[in-house]
Amino acid sequence: MKQDRFTNKFLRASEVAALIGCSTQWVGALVMEGELESHRLRPLGWHRIPAASLEEYAKRNDIRIDWESVL
């Protein structure tokens, strides 16, 4: 990741979708398949994806992320 200030950032599925150009449903599928790490805010709450996990996914799949566009 270019800047350490994003390392501890947690992203919503909609933010991840915007960054990699897909739907929020696809992001959910990536979480369920274990391609993206996620954390639940509550037992039945929303998932949050660590920016570091997205960065690793992007590197594995040769995707360029413009962090300044969302963060």
Long-range contact pairs involving 26-31 (C-beta distance under 8 Å, separation at least 24): 30/57
What secondary structure does DSSP assign to 11-48, as a single string?
E-HHHHHHHHT--HHHHHHHHHTTSS--EESSTTS-EE
Among residues of the chain, what percentage have pLDDT more than 70? 87
The model's pLDDT over 18-50, given as tens digits with 9 standing for 90+, comes to: 999 999 999 999 999 999 999 987 887 788 999
pLDDT mean across residues, the chain? 86
Q: Can you name the CATH fold of 4-63? A: Multidrug-efflux Transporter Regulator; Chain: A; Domain 2 (1.10.1660)
Q: How many CB atoms lie within 10 A of CB 36?
A: 22
